Structure 1
Amino acid sequence: MNVSIKVLLLCGSMMATGFAAQAAEISMAANSTGKNLNFIREQLVEFEKQSGHKVKLVTMPPSSSEQFSQYRLWLAAGNTDVDVYQTDVVWAPQLAEQFVDLTEAAKDVVSKHFPSVIASQTVDGKLVAMPMYTDAPALFYRKDLLEKYGKQPPKTWKELAETANEVQDKERTAGQKDMWGFVFQGSAYEGLTCNALEWIASAGGGHIVETNGDISINNEKAAAALEMAKSWIGTISPQGALAYKEEEARGVWQTGNSVFMRNWTYVYALGNGGDSAIKGKFGVVPLPAGTEGETAASTLGGWNAAVSKYSKNQEAAIALVKFLGSEETQKKRAVELSNMPTIAALYDDKDVAAAQPFMPLWKPIFETAVPRPSAATKVKYNEVSAKFWGAVHNTLSGTGTAAENLELLEVELTDLKGDSW
């Protein structure tokens, strides 16, 4: 079938769905964490069916740091091969100049989304990416093991360590030699920034760089929080946790070899999958607080879809990002992958609540989630984060004390800031 005939046949369908009448071939870069790629492939089939456009999927690694590096190279070179980028919530200020302003195209749907999420993707008044889903981490716990030993989900990090140590030791004595108390993302990458920000913020140690641009990281509470986490390595957490990203932590957890795990909510659906050793045996609660009376801190996460300003088919690309951020697609993603919607109404949806019983409880967490300091540090955020996770990783691995590493970090960030961010 030649192109002109194909376009004529598809015209009625495209006009009915509001998509452009001219079919185009576009491409989208997306990450490979969990079942994200499988889900997106299924949605692209539906999008192609409705719109007549064709979409090529460009597979990216699961590490957000590696994705960002590749994206920055492509965009700096004016790459026309990728039209749509799946983007992390913190990238908007750094890549805004390379993306199309979606304000006008999305004016009919932005009011459905959490204002904080829309704000996170708005730079100098321009909406540079459409939200696909938001995220905040959870504490996953083995419900069966806590019940077995008469324990409750911990409210503080100190309580977590005590419970993890006790249950771990008793399970090992009972023959579960590979059991650990707690797994998290300890590798030197963006995920460690998220974890460490939670430890520090929940202890009252600030947010690395505050909203006014002040560098706040070098303080006693922040140092104490990192020393606390350092004490976990080799006791309740394996030495290998220093190389864990999301999927490595999930691997230990899902095979039944950890009492607790810090991870993002996509793990919930996978943990209850047919091939999971812990299906039906776990629960999720918000992350612990630093101490009694302190507020727990969950790092704001989430992924979006942005249109490259170098795209030769921007109309089709904009149609795709609106489709991927639509209420229908977000509902499917929530039900199938336990990814958190950015559309508030879906937290009251009966189908979503039935598939993911924990999800409605997460709505207030997003309203108080802790953002990484990308807005304050703008285009320098990636360097700030890399220096921060480097200092944290050095501390966890025993290279210098937390106080020493944070003092050095303050000097490095001050040099990086210069006169302003």
Structure 2
Amino acid sequence: MFQTPPASLKPGASASVPSLGSTTPVTPAAQTSPSSPQLPKRPVQLGGRDIPLPGSRPGQSSALSSPSPTAKPPVKPIEVKQPTAPLPQAGNMSPQDKPTDKALGVNPALAPKPAQSSLTSATPPAAAGSQPPKPPRIPQTPTQPGVKQPIFAQIQANPKKWITIILGAILGLGLIILLLTRIFGRSGTPVQQGGGATPTPAQQKVLTYWGLWEPSSVLEEVIADYEAANPGVKIDYRVQSHKDYRERLQTAIASGNGPDIFRYHASWVPMLKADLAVLPSSVMNANEFQSTFYPIAAVQLQVDGKLVGLPIMYDGLVLYYNKDILQTAGVEPPATWAELKQLANELTVPADKAERRSSGIQRAGLAIGNTSNVDHFADILALLILQNGGDPAEPAFTEVRDALTFYTNFVAEDSVWSSALPNSTVAFARGDAAMMFAPSWRAHEILELNPSLNFATAPLPQLSEEVVTWGSYWAEGVNEKSAYKPEAWSFLKYLTSAEVMKKLYSAQSQVRAFGEPYSRTDLVADLQGDPYVGAVLKDAPHAQGWYLSSATHDNGINDNIIDYYRVAVEAVLTGEEMEKVLTTLDQGVTQVLRQYGEVK
């Protein structure tokens, strides 16, 4: 590549030329005198062509030559051979060290500096008797502003700088590739290498799992076992607060940021049916599901006949009783409602009903009859309606009327319970109530309140020979919008295996008195003698459920229908006309069911 002649070397212009032995610039006038012979410029040979040096043209003298009144014929240049060793610099030689023309055979001024030029120089011989001229300084072509040198010339001029630049560019490119791999590589297919199937972390599928009630330590072992057996999958378990959980869950799913797996109450299916993925038959078909879990699960965990959840636990209403009080009375837990009604009256202190009303109750025989301080009044009332052959969705019928009357009479006529007492769980833990209804998980609260209380649970009393019990439990579902539905169902199938359920129960028992009752029917024998969960599992095959499940905190179908039944119970206790109570109740329940698409 040719460089544009710098302006400082154009004809008629003076230029600063670096000396051979110094960096101090001198002018051409300091180099030569008018009487000194001048050197004609020799064209540069590039690619076989003669390229004139900057500032000269063929047939003209160089801008560095002195003007002469008479043009002299050109003198044939003398070829100067490169010396084998560098000549001493002119500026550093003493007079005695300076070589003579005879010693070198050439004018010293014509000796090129090896490190600065590869061009050979020529000059006419000096006139006799004249002083040898000072060696001319060979100019270095200055860089003209705005004109870049060739890239290879720049690299040769400063190789360290360019090596640093190249290495930096390679490092930056590597970092960019690594970042892009981490961002976009997560959804990639695991790469099989050799005989192994170990994917890189960027290829892992991370499944977010929203849980309730259970701390991370409970699932730590079973999750670690699953991840070890499935290295391409990672489970991110996150414990959620029950406060506004259902709303937060559905909001997250709707926004596309919901968990892949989540816990939900079995009674929430009408509210979540658009968010729940269908259980593939390849994971578990309907026959396997029905033979593995209790019948209530197949009824509740389905949408249009398609299964939408897997239960890894079960719970339901049971009768709690104070063993010391019943032993003192010499009685066993009642098996029918008639026996329960009589025993509740006998265990209430004081014994006289009139005194109870006037002076208050010192010890309740059974926590039942109102809504203000009976923790699970809705479940108890739903149980009575179902056992009486009624349908909680159709309150206007006789079966519901009779159940309401029977329930409220424990307070209105028998006075075995009072709104002046603490809530049922606290009253039972203190020994202020001989019996109460609650699911198994209330036992943990009781043990915390009174670890020395001697109590147990019993199966629910029945109205007739047809056994009907009440179930209220949680299941695990898969987000319909999840990108990893097959992996999510595979993990849930793993959680519902008998071996893993036993591990979970053992881990749960390390952080509290006992674990969650098994949802598998083939594990009932392991817990049937347990004083807290044995009765739950004995009742499980006969359990039914509906949208009167308390303590689900759904702010939806359960809580809304419970509110209408609460108003109805209190209206009956205050003496309001039953027909009016039932009409209002029927309208309210129908409205809620219509809101969630459950109107028959």
Deviation of 1:233 after TM superposition, in Å, equals 4.5
- Secondary structure at the counterpart of residue 53 of structure 1: strand
Q: Name the aligned partner's letter for residue 347 of structure 2.
A: V
Q: Which residue of 1 aligns with 2:470?
A: 299
Q: Name the aligned partner's letter for residue 260 of structure 1.
A: M
Match of 2:519 among 335, 342, 345: 342
Deviation of 1:296 after TM superposition, in Å, equals 5.3
Please list, as runs of the form range in 1=range in 2, the aligned pairs for 1:49-68 lying within 5 A after superposition: 50-51=226-227, 53-61=234-242, 66-68=244-246
Deviation of 1:195 after TM superposition, in Å, equals 2.1
- Conserved in 2, the CA contact under 8 Å of 1:207 and 1:372? no
Deviations 1:132-173 (A, max 9, x none): 112221101111101112333233445434433432305999
How far apart are the structure 2 equivalents of 1:252 and 1:320?
Answer: 42
1:405 has 2:578 as partner: no
Deviation of 1:370 after TM superposition, in Å, equals 2.2
Identify if the C-alpha distance between structure 1 residues 23 and 319 changes in structure 2 by more than 3 Å, giving closer, same or farther: farther
Match of 2:223 among 47, 65, 71: 47
- Secondary structure at the counterpart of residue 434 of structure 2: strand
- Conserved in 2, the CA contact under 8 Å of 1:255 and 1:276? no
1:139 has 2:319 as partner: yes
- Conserved in 2, the CA contact under 8 Å of 1:392 and 1:402? no
Match of 2:402 among 210, 215, 224: 224
1:369 has 2:543 as partner: yes
How far apart are the structure 1 equivalents of 2:577 and 2:326?
Answer: 33
- Secondary structure at the counterpart of residue 481 of structure 2: coil
- Conserved in 1, the CA contact under 8 Å of 2:392 and 2:400? no
Q: Which residue of 1 aligns with 2:204?
A: 23
Please list, as runs of the form range in 1=range in 2, the aligned pairs for 1:37-186 lying within 5 A after superposition: 37-38=214-215, 41-48=217-224, 50-51=226-227, 53-61=234-242, 66-75=244-253, 77-104=254-281, 106-107=283-284, 110=289, 111-169=291-349, 179-183=363-367, 186=371
Structure 1 vs Structure 2: percent identity of aligned residues? 18
- Secondary structure at the counterpart of residue 366 of structure 2: strand
* Structure of higher CA gyration radius: 2
Q: Name the aligned partner's letter for residue 311 of structure 2.
A: P
- Conserved in 2, the CA contact under 8 Å of 1:181 and 1:260? yes
Match of 1:391 among 565, 568, 583: 565
Q: Structure 2: which 5+ runs fail to align?
A: 1-178, 228-232, 356-360, 549-554
Determine which structure has the larger helix proportion and give its number. Answer: 1
Q: Name the aligned partner's letter for residue 367 of structure 1.
A: P
Deviation of 1:29 after TM superposition, in Å, equals 2.9
Q: Structure 1: which 5+ runs fail to align?
A: 210-214, 375-380
Identify if the C-alpha distance between structure 1 residues 357 and 140 changes in structure 2 by more than 3 Å, giving closer, same or farther: closer
- Conserved in 1, the CA contact under 8 Å of 2:378 and 2:562? yes
Match of 2:392 among 208, 219, 223: 208
- Secondary structure at the counterpart of residue 97 of structure 1: coil
How far apart are the structure 2 equivalents of 1:382 and 1:190?
Answer: 18
Q: Which residue of 2 aligns with 1:287?
A: 460
Identify if the C-alpha distance between structure 1 residues 233 and 277 changes in structure 2 by more than 3 Å, giving closer, same or farther: farther
Deviation of 1:305 after TM superposition, in Å, equals 0.4
Deviation of 1:308 after TM superposition, in Å, equals 1.2
How far apart are the structure 2 equivalents of 1:29 and 1:150?
Answer: 48
How far apart are the structure 1 equivalents of 2:306 and 2:399?
Answer: 37
- Secondary structure at the counterpart of residue 71 of structure 1: helix
1:331 has 2:502 as partner: yes
Deviation of 1:334 after TM superposition, in Å, equals 5.0
How far apart are the structure 1 equivalents of 2:329 and 2:374?
Answer: 35
How far apart are the structure 2 equivalents of 1:384 and 1:319?
Answer: 30
Deviations 1:211-250 (A, max 9, x none): xxxx3x2233422322332244483334278xx9xxx643
Identify if the C-alpha distance between structure 1 residues 252 and 358 changes in structure 2 by more than 3 Å, giving closer, same or farther: closer
Deviations 1:370-404 (A, max 9, x none): 23269xxxxxx954872354234442364635543
Q: Name the aligned partner's letter for residue 404 of structure 2.
A: L
Identify if the C-alpha distance between structure 1 residues 189 and 68 changes in structure 2 by more than 3 Å, giving closer, same or farther: farther
- Conserved in 2, the CA contact under 8 Å of 1:29 and 1:57? yes
Q: Name the aligned partner's letter for residue 561 of structure 2.
A: K
- Conserved in 1, the CA contact under 8 Å of 2:317 and 2:469? yes
Higher mean C-alpha deviation, range 402-411 or range 144-153:
402-411
1:276 has 2:451 as partner: yes
Identify if the C-alpha distance between structure 1 residues 251 and 240 changes in structure 2 by more than 3 Å, giving closer, same or farther: same
Q: Name the aligned partner's letter for residue 283 of structure 1.
A: A
Deviations 1:66-96 (A, max 9, x none): 5434434444x33414222211112224312
- Conserved in 2, the CA contact under 8 Å of 1:134 and 1:302? yes
How far apart are the structure 2 equivalents of 1:237 and 1:26?
Answer: 49
- Conserved in 2, the CA contact under 8 Å of 1:29 and 1:84? yes
Identify if the C-alpha distance between structure 1 residues 156 and 330 changes in structure 2 by more than 3 Å, giving closer, same or farther: same
- Conserved in 2, the CA contact under 8 Å of 1:156 and 1:289? yes
How far apart are the structure 2 equivalents of 1:136 and 1:48?
Answer: 30
Deviation of 1:98 after TM superposition, in Å, equals 0.8
How far apart are the structure 2 equivalents of 1:333 and 1:264?
Answer: 19
The alignment of Structure 1 onto Structure 2 pairs a total of residues equal to 375
- Conserved in 2, the CA contact under 8 Å of 1:27 and 1:82? yes
Match of 2:440 among 246, 251, 265: 265
Higher relative contact order (CA 8 A, sep 6+): 1
Higher mean C-alpha deviation, range 220-229 or range 162-171:
162-171
- Conserved in 1, the CA contact under 8 Å of 2:459 and 2:538? no
